[in-house]
Amino acid sequence: MTTAFIGKSVRRTEDPRLITGKGTYVDDVKLLGMLHMALVRSPHAHARIKKINVSRASKAPGVVAIFTGADLQGQLGSLPVGWVLKQADTHTKYDMKAPPHPPLAFEKVRYVGDAVAAVVANDPYLAADAAALVDVDYELLGVVTDGEKATKRDAPQLHTEAPDNTCFEWDVHGGDYEGAAKKAQVVVKQKFINQRLIPNAMETRGVVADYNTGTNQITIWTSTQIPHLVRLLFAAVTGHPEQSVRVIAPEVGGAFGSKLYLYAEEIITGMIAKNLARPVKWVEGRQENYLATTHGRDHITYGEICGDKDGTITGLKVTTYANLGAYLSTFAPGIPTVLFGLMLSGVYKYPNVSCKVYGTFTNTTPVDAYRGAGRPEATYLVERMVDAFARELARDPVAVRRKNFLPPFKNGRAVATGVLYDSGNYRAPVDKALEMFDYKAFRKEQREARGSGKLLGVGFSTYIEICGMAPSAVAASLGAGAGLWESSTVRVHPTGKVTVFTGTSPHGQGHETTLAQVAGEHLGIPMESIEVMHGDTDRQQFGTGTFGSRSITVGGTALVMSLKKVKDKMRKIAAHQMGVPAKNVIFEDGKFYVEDIREKSMDFGTVVGEAYNAKNLPPGMEPGLEATSFFDPKNFTWPFGCHIAIVEIDEDTGQTRLKRYVAVDDIGNVINPMIVDGMVHGGIAQGVGQALQEGAVYGENGQLVTGSMLDYAVPTAEDVPSYETARTVTPSPVNPLGVKGAGEAGTIAASPAVMNAAIDALAHLGIRHLDMPLRSETVWRAINGAKAAKKAARSATATAARSGRKARR
């Protein structure tokens, strides 16, 4: 099929304005009479608020008002949870505990960064100065930051509603793991720590709120992935009528999942603007962002894999403590359950899976989705354990994977966790990756390098993930509190220009380009004639937003539906005016032709004009040319692929360097290869970051030790090699575009590939596992420990041999 735009690396139309500084981010919004808000945040991880004294602060220059949690208690409500695990769902043991989450704390603070008061002043500097003068008298309480220790009997308790700090117990049982383990010839056990990460979007969060006393309208500019849900939840929490709330997501400078929630600051800023009847701005600082914006991951897992000596895997079992932080963020309960536990089948046919997850509260920043959200945690376990199983059998990790792959399928395949994959061909990306990487030659190079002080290792990750959030009914049965469909409107203007209104909300993914490519393809008009609008609840129909690599699979399909409706109407108009039945009219190259009579045609612009001048429309047809669609897919999509990492470890220092990276992804059909490559590249960097250098560290007292980029190592260009990427194409049957979603695959695949490579480099020393991140000291200690153990073993053998000889004498 030849296409005009789909499958082409069209340059991103949003880039010229962004790279020339013409984008409007929240901090660029400046309103007349605007005030600035600074939040007073708790310096303690767990404390009772005894008294807040604002008298010094209120006298500070420029201060207009100060609000404490108690002042606004009746107005701010409690932050809602949008994913509720209920006993009625087969996976959940009891209704999850959802303790109140006041936007401004008023009785207790539960993590360092919990907001206790808001200071509003004439400029941001004076607001910050005054915030430092708010005196809060705290009574310190015991602190727990470890998600497993939090469940122990003597741990400090965060919420009276959640005994043992446990929010939920959730499980999956497919087949009979215990039975399989009993019969298995080999069982490998390993504890894994999937460390806490800080999302680090380039733009921190920010909110501007304006209140119109005449119309009772609150307008909120916020750096978010979900403007429509923010409006809905804001109205629900504050009681301000939904039709009088407008939420605008202007340019959003990245999010990685961290802007997918209703945040306290959105409510606080909005309601203070309403109270003062003046515009109010709050912009998060970077250190503040480290404390107040959600974190990701933070699992402690006990894993087991079992199978036979011929390499057949028969089962997998995991018990996971998922640290949720101090309160439930909007989607927190869904991440370590549905998006984690249900992914534990991987691309394999083992019939027995057992998974138990404890969601726990600790005195830390709330944890929610971060690029990959649950799937990186699951993939890390599956791919690390499959490797550990192969190593235990001294079998090749690729051969063991191939032996256990699900066979290819085009339309649905149920797996042990109970979910239905859409389409898969798991050998294809492995074959392609091994065409790009000479495995045999590498093994030789690896052996030869030993003794030179540089240890080489290769790691594989044959991942699968879940995208295209929706279908709503399935998601609802698993706990989703809102529908997960997506919407579009296509408005063809009288001049033939087109505006696409999408319910998705991009924050760096290039939707304006990709969706315009789809629209241009369908309408046969140039992309310059199409504008894609998003992120304003007053402009767009209700939509869900951008997360879970869903925008093209769900949002793109909603767009195709509207485009089809528009084309159908145009076809009917053209057929009517050319005097033939509509079924005989074909649309090609921007023209409506009568089938077999090519010279009889009407071009796109003419038909549009006819729709608007309405002089000669088919009987009963409404004038105008616009269509709106809402799409709810029947299944999720399941991208997969094979990533190969090659690392080099310095034996003397423990430094681990990523030398080479091969990524073959199967994300179904591709709209814009360049944009997909960009997402794959960035995704891999974040997965590599987790494997080698990122990690949030809390002190015993609950202070975030990695409180800035001086201590939290975000990967940079010098930490990653030039990637070698390729794709195989297994179209998804669940949407007409055949797409699967590409936003998170790189991150999901990369961490286990890199860790498997590192263990491969160290395995000859007897090292079987290391936890992420691979700080140089971690590796250095492991190497030294392994060498000392070998030496001790050798001398023990020698001693035994000597004493044996003596005995014989």
Partner 1 sequence: MTTNVAASFQYHAPSSVEEACRLLAKYKGGAKLLAGGHSLLPLVKLRLATPEALIDLSRIKGLSYVKAGRKGLAIGAMTTYYDIESSDVVKKAAPVLADAAAQVADTQVRNAGTLGGSLAHSDPAGDLPAVVLALGAELEVHTARGSRTISVDNFFRDLLTTALRPNEVLTEIRIPPLPARTGTAYVKLANKASHYAVVGVAAVVTLDKAGVCAAARVAVTGAGPHAVRAKRTERILIGKKLSALVIRRAAERAGAEIGDGFNSDIHASAEYRAAMTIVFAERALTEAVGRV
- Residue 218 or 696 with smaller CB distance to partner 1: 696
Pick the closest to residue 117 from 133, 100, 98 (CA basis). 133
Under the criterion CB under 8 A, does residue 89 sit at the interface with partner 1? no
Under the criterion CB under 8 A, does residue 802 sit at the interface with partner 1? no
- Residue 39 or 742 with smaller CB distance to partner 1: 39
Contacts with partner 1, 257-286, as mask; x by CB under 8 A = ----------------------------xx
Under the criterion CB under 8 A, does residue 25 sit at the interface with partner 1? no
- Residue 45 or 247 with smaller CB distance to partner 1: 45
Residue 522 buriedness (CB in 10 A; 0-12 / 13-18 / 19+): buried
Put the strands of the sheet holding 597-603 in their side by side order. 585-588, 591-594, 597-603
CA distance 87 to 771: 34
Under the criterion CB under 8 A, does residue 786 sit at the interface with partner 1? no
- Residue 713 or 726 with smaller CB distance to partner 1: 713
- Residue 600 or 659 with smaller CB distance to partner 1: 659
Contacts with partner 1, 291-310, as mask; x by CB under 8 A = xx------------------
Under the criterion CB under 8 A, does residue 705 sit at the interface with partner 1? yes
Q: How far is the CB of 27 from partner 1 (least distance, A)?
A: 12
- Residue 479 or 695 with smaller CB distance to partner 1: 695
- Residue 1 or 710 with smaller CB distance to partner 1: 710
- Residue 39 or 675 with smaller CB distance to partner 1: 39
Count the site residues for partner 1 by CB under 8 A. Answer: 39
The answer for residues whose C-beta is within 8 angstroms of residue 777's C-beta and 6 or more apart is 654
According to CB under 8 A, which residues from 125 to 164 bind partner 1?
125, 128-129, 131-132
What DSSP line would sit under 590-619, residue for residue?
A: TEEEETTEEEEEEEHHHHHHHHHH-SSPPT
Under the criterion CB under 8 A, does residue 34 sit at the interface with partner 1? no
CA distance 342 to 353: 10
Q: How far is the CB of 451 from partner 1 (least distance, A)?
A: 16
Tokens (6 digits) for 599:
């010279």
- Max CA-CA distance within the chain? 117
Under the criterion CB under 8 A, does residue 584 sit at the interface with partner 1? no
Helix (H, G, I), strand (E, B) or coil at 68: strand
Virtual CA dihedral for 275, 276, 278, 282, nearest 10 degrees? -80
Residue from 692, 748, 754, 772 touching partner 1 (CB under 8 A): that is 692
Residue from 712, 743, 745, 772 touching partner 1 (CB under 8 A): that is 712
Q: By CB under 8 A, which span of 26-34, 232-240, 478-486, 701-709 interacts with partner 1?
A: 701-709
Q: What are the two backbone dihedrals, phi and then psi, of residue 512, each rounded to the nearest 5 degrees?
A: -60, -35
According to CB under 8 A, which residues from 376 to 415 bind partner 1?
none
Partners of residue 661 on adjacent β-strands: 645
Look up residue 476 and give its amino acid.
A
- Residue 93 or 657 with smaller CB distance to partner 1: 657
Tokens (6 digits) for 583:
């079924």
Under the criterion CB under 8 A, does residue 43 sit at the interface with partner 1? yes
Look up residue 379 and give its amino acid.
T
Q: By CB under 8 A, which span of 333-341, 556-564, 568-576, 691-699 interacts with partner 1?
A: 691-699
What secondary structure letter does DSSP report for 416?
T
CA distance 540 to 420: 33
Asked if residues 491 and 501 have their Cβ atoms less than 8 Å apart, the reply is yes
Under the criterion CB under 8 A, does residue 561 sit at the interface with partner 1? no
Q: How far is the CB of 130 from partner 1 (least distance, A)?
A: 11
Residue from 681, 706, 721, 770 touching partner 1 (CB under 8 A): that is 706
According to CB under 8 A, which residues from 610 to 669 bind partner 1?
652-653, 655
Residue from 41, 159, 384, 401 touching partner 1 (CB under 8 A): that is 41
Asked if residues 653 and 673 have their Cβ atoms less than 8 Å apart, the reply is no
CA distance 26 to 249: 8
Under the criterion CB under 8 A, does residue 697 sit at the interface with partner 1? yes
- Residue 577 or 655 with smaller CB distance to partner 1: 655
Residue from 15, 495, 777, 798 touching partner 1 (CB under 8 A): that is 777
CA 186-191-193 angle, 5° bins: 145
Asked if residues 404 and 315 have their Cβ atoms less than 8 Å apart, the reply is no
- Residue 118 or 344 with smaller CB distance to partner 1: 118
Q: Which residues of 183-210 are buried (b: 16+ CB within 10 A; e: fewer)?
A: ebebbbeeebebbbbbbbbebbbbbbbb
Under the criterion CB under 8 A, does residue 287 sit at the interface with partner 1? yes
* For helices 375-392 and 397-404, angle between their N-to-C axes, nearest 10 degrees: 110
CA distance 802 to 104: 73
CA distance 733 to 412: 8
- Residue 119 or 739 with smaller CB distance to partner 1: 119
- Residue 622 or 777 with smaller CB distance to partner 1: 777
Tokens (6 digits) for 342:
């249900």
Query: Would you tell me which residues interact with partner 1 (CB under 8 A)?
Result: 38-39, 41, 43, 113, 124-125, 128-129, 131-132, 285-288, 291-292, 652-653, 655, 692-693, 697, 705-706, 708-714, 716, 719, 775-777, 780-781
